[in-house]
Structure 1
Amino acid sequence: MERNISEADWCRGNWGTLLLPINEDDSIDFERLSVEIDVLIDAGVDGIYSNGTAGEFHTQTEDEFYQVSEMLATKCKSRGMRFQIGASHPVPVVTLSRIARTLHLEPAAYQVILPDWVSVGIEEACDFLKRVAESARPVPIVLYNPPHAKRVLEPEAYSTLVKQIPELVSIKVLDGDIDWYERMRPVAAQVAVFVPGHHLASGVNHGVASGAYSNVACINPWAAQRWWQLMQIDMKEALGIEQCIQTFFAGYITPFAAQGFSNPALDKLLAAVGNWADIGTRLRWPYRWVSSIEVERIRKGAHRTLPGWFFETN
């Protein structure tokens, strides 16, 4: 199977993540989740994905995983919205099972992580992704390799994976410095490279990023979409907005990361600040979340540091 880059042209832009609304009894509130999906579709994001890190895939039962996936697929198909299903799991055979169970839902792609208890070598990573690709056919796959993964790959390793696995259409990574971007150019020529949402303009400006599975969309999916569109016509202005986003993060979000709060906790905090859907800041046991008491203070900071259109909904 040869890689056809044009077939993956859809895999770009500003993608919104599902965030799980969690009740006080630790159950998933599927009614609130249903409304959240509707809002993301209304916002006109380029696509929606389920069961990423911020979707707390690592806390779900298999029945819950399927219910989330089925709800997303049903709603997106009815309204012509692209969607990806996160089939990630630390246990590789469970990843395969999640794919087999949802293949009939026909997602645009499956997102997967590498096996995550014992670190894999590059040959093992290739073997794993080849098996995943075989199980997912004809649906392509996306590798999510976040900085907290047991094995964080270097650009040269991504090049190896891309050469051996034509079904791999995108990778989601933490970006780096100028040298990292230069080393990633051969990878970006073959697959869509998705960088953190708050670095998206810089990534596009470097000629490497194709989009973001976006934490900025957690603040406001409408604003994140407008920002992505601005990058296509006025990169100078888009980079200026990125500086505002970085200022906001440094002043109001990064301090919580320094206190040990996880990325899902930070993403839910961003959504609570944006107040575009009733998601809440609560995470599932045993993980800590940022108290809702902090939200109003941070919202005031966001209004001071971010462009006003970050809080418009159309």
Structure 2
Amino acid sequence: MATPPVYPPLVTPFTASNEVDVDALAALVDAVESRGVDGVVPCGTTGEFASLTEAEYETVVETTADTASGRVVAGVADTSVAGVRSKVETAADAGCDAVLVTGPYFHTENAAGGTESFLRAAVADAPLPVYLYNIPVYVGDRLGSRTVSTLAEAGLVAGIKDSSGDLDYLLTLVRSTPDDFELFCGYDSVLVPALTSGATGGINALANVVPEVFDAARSALAEGETERAVHLSQTAIAPLFEQCAAHGFAPATKVGAAARGFLDSTAVRPPLVDLDEGARGDVADAVDEALAVVDVD
């Protein structure tokens, strides 16, 4: 198989005065790209996009696009059609390569067809390729497989990031979407089984922290070493993913990235809270254990 691409949904670093730290963001992009990822995703869930002002959103997207050498897929989720369209324009103006959009949240559809209508209006005539983003735990609704396949067959969307962790759902999309439709697994602990089942690649929070592990796992699959890929998934990715699931992905990912020296500050914005010392130690230990599996100091 071809080597599957992996992108981290970047965390957004903040200064001690709670401002976006553009220097730290640029350094993080350099750190992960130098360790094997194929691109980056600013302003996703792990990037605390919902806690950014409009000006901060523009700063994060522009800084990332100016720094990255790989592909840049900007998150453009919003509660309104106009909000999504405005963010798409910002991403295009910044030089991003594609955008990532959820269904509407807070106000979810009250009858069949509402989400599809929202998405059709939000991405109509988009100047960049559009990827859907299925994350029902935060949006409140799953993107229906029929909605996804309808939008794909209409040529309105190029792919999807699925963060549901539901492999049966992903397999349904593999069967029901065009061959060139790209399916990215966003649930880190099932990335390897997703790739062996037809997924295109991964958009994975922990690639902010241990990009070497993701590079090793996807390379193993490309080389036909399935057992090695499964071993990496079970012994390096899954235990660290469990720590993130327990403590929150943005806070735990920042702690993990700081443990690697990729970030100086682990500050998050309310309602998120930074990890206590015990949790920080648990995350750091899981990072060390993951890196030991691939012999990285």
Normalised by the length of structure 1, the TM-score is 0.82
> Once the 2 structures are TM-superposed, how far is the Cα of residue 140 of structure 1 from its aligned partner?
0.7
Q: Return the TM-score normalized by structure 2.
A: 0.86
Q: Per-residue deviation at 1:245?
A: 3.4
> 1:222 and 1:279, CA in 2 relative to 1: closer, same or farther beyond 3 A?
farther
Identical aligned residues as a percent: 20
Unmatched runs of 5 consecutive residues or more in structure 1 = 1-8, 257-261
Is the CA contact 1:20–1:279 (under 8 Å) kept in the aligned structure 2? no
Q: 1:84 to 1:172 in 2, by over 3 A?
A: same
2:239 counterpart residue number: 248
Query: How many positions carry a matched residue from both structures?
Result: 291
The match for 1:53 among 40, 45, 48 is 45
Aligned counterpart for 1:271 among listed residues 257, 262, 276: 257
CA displacement at 1:210 relative to structure 2: 0.9
Find the partner of 1:224 among 198, 214, 219.
214
Q: Could you tell me how far 1:270 is from its partner in structure 2? A: 3.3
Gap change, CA 1:69 and 1:251, over 3 Å in 2: closer
Q: CA deviation at 1:118?
A: 0.9
Kept after mapping to 2: 8 A contact 1:14/1:213: yes
Structure 2 match to 1:99: 88
Partner SS for 1:50: coil
Distance 1:285 1:93 in 2: 26
Q: 1:290 aligns with which of 253, 256, 275?
A: 275
User: Alpha-carbon deviation of 1:15?
Assistant: 0.5
For 2:151, the equivalent position in structure 1 comes to: 161
The amino acid that maps onto 1:245 is: A
Q: Equivalents in 2 of 1:179, 1:253: separation in Å? A: 23
Instruction: Give matches, 1:69-88, under 5 Å.
Output: 69-76=61-68, 79=69, 81-88=70-77
For residue 30 of structure 1, what is the aligned residue in structure 2? Answer: 22
Contact 1:114 1:145 in 2 (8 A): yes
Measure, in 2, the Cα distance between the counterparts of 1:279 and 1:167: 40
Offset of 1:265 from its aligned partner?
A: 2.4
* Pair 130,218 (structure 1): closer, same or farther in 2 beyond 3 Å: same
> Aligned pair in 2 of structure 1 residues 102, 194: CA closer, same or farther (>3 Å)?
closer
Please tell me the residue identity of whatever aligns with 2:87. Answer: R
Moved more, 154-163 or 108-117: 154-163
Secondary structure (helix, strand or coil) at the match of 2:200 reads: strand
Q: What amino acid sits opposite 2:233 in the alignment? A: E
* Aligned 8 A contact 1:114 1:125 in 2: yes
**SS of the residue 1:212 aligns to:** strand
Gaps of 5+ in 2: none
Q: Which residue identity lines up with residue 184 of structure 2 in the other structure?
A: F
